[in-house]
């Protein structure tokens, strides 16, 4: 099969994260150095395929990008190639399956295989686009670490390091002013960032989507801390956390996006509730997109390079429609169809949660 692959393409979809360029570099350099095949870079994810915006990638194009955050190809998190919004003759927005147009674009460039770097939204779209005409290999990217089938995604380690550093800095302000600091981190419907950064930053309370919390439990814990002489409290809350019987806080919705709901605002809500209940000063900080940016950690550079190399090797060995994964500290792969539409949540019986509880971390339950 290897000799049949002459041209490949690589794209980054969904939200950006540290380590994307490391994957692009690994794919391109391996393709050129080891196999002597041509590589096309697709601009702005699936939108670039639909709009026929591709450019050849040379060895020089991917040199000195290992340590650079973001992506040299650009990305897009609102385009679903099988459900693309277009206007009909009377100006109404209707949805069109653009799969044939995508195949046409790739055939024009004589592309034999497509390497998709992205999270669950990108992999769901990739699985729908995958077929006999094209070999698709996925590379798991998301700071949320919520992609099913892999123990870790690249970008997560850097996001945790960024969030932990922020918690460390906020601790000095909380201590000086004897305040309750509520720090909101990303993660969507999974609590991986909150759990890891909360533990690493020594947070007193960690609230995650997998364990709905009770406001009175959180407030009682804060009062108990005050009795112990603890004059401040650090709360790390995942954006998807919610009260028992309550709903997640939605900041806004994005029309026509594959993932229309944008979570956010739980820290503001919780800080206000705590102030009103306890009469103590509480402040909220939402870290937001700062978690996505910056230079990838050494861990993420190594993981991204390993994933990129493995993706190219899968292509050249004749594999198709698979996702590169890290399981039990070994690189392997799983079918894309098994990943689509699934979320990898924090197990409530996780040893990390147990360890945090036993050092007196409150989860609000």
The pair of structure tokens assigned to 280 is: 């103590």
266: closest CA among 251, 281, 245? 251
Helix, strand, or coil (residue 99): helix
Report strand pairing: 261-263 vs 250-253. Answer: antiparallel
Residue 14 · residue 139 · CB < 8 Å = no
234: closest CA among 285, 182, 292? 182
144 labelled catalytic: yes
Residue 236 · residue 207 · CB < 8 Å = yes
Question: In angstroms, rounded to a whole number, what is the distance separating the alpha carbons of residues 47 and 210?
Answer: 33
Catalytic option among 16, 120, 144, 204: 144
Helix, strand, or coil (residue 128): helix
40: closest CA among 93, 96, 115? 115
Catalytic residue IDs: 144
């Amino acid at each position: 099969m290897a000799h049949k692959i002459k041209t490949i393409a690589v794209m980054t979809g969904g939200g950006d994260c540290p380590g994307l360029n490391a994957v692009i570099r690994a794919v391109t350099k391996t393709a050129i150095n080891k196999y002597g095949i041509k590589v096309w870079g697709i601009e702005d994810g699936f939108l670039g395929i639909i709009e026929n915006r591709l450019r050849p990638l040379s060895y020089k194009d991917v040199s000195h990008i290992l340590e650079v955050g973001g992506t040299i190809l650009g990305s897009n998190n609102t385009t679903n190639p099988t459900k693309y919004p277009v206007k009909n003759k009377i100006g109404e927005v209707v949805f069109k399956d653009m799969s044939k147009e995508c195949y046409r674009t790739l055939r024009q460039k004589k592309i034999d295989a497509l390497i998709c770097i992205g999270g669950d939204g990108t992999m769901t779209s990739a699985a729908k686009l995958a077929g006999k005409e094209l070999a698709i290999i996925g590379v798991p990217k998301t700071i949320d670490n919520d992609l099913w089938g892999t123990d870790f995604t690249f970008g997560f380690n850097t996001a945790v390091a960024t969030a932990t550093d922020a918690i460390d800095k906020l601790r000095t302000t909380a201590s000086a002013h004897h305040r309750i600091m509520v720090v909101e981190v990303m993660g969507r419907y999974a609590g991986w960032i909150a759990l890891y950064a909360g533990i690493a930053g020594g947070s007193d309370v960690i609230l995650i989507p997998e364990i709905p919390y009770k406001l009175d439990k959180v407030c009682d814990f804060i009062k108990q801390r005050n009795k112990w002489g603890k004059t401040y409290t650090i709360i790390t809350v995942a954006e998807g956390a919610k009260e028992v019987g309550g709903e997640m806080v939605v900041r806004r919705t994005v029309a026509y996006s594959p993932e229309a709901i944008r979570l956010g605002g739980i820290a503001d809500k919780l800080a206000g509730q705590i102030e009103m209940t306890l009469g103590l000063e509480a402040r909220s900080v939402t870290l937001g997109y700062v978690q996505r940016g910056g230079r990838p950690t050494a861990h993420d550079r190594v993981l991204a390079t390993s994933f990129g190399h493995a993706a190219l090797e899968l292509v050249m060995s004749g594999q198709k429609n698979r996702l590169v994964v890290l399981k039990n500290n070994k690189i392997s792969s799983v079918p894309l169809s098994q990943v689509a539409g699934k979320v990898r949540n924090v197990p409530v019986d996780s040893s990390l949660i147990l360890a945090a509880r036993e050092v007196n971390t409150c989860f609000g339950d």
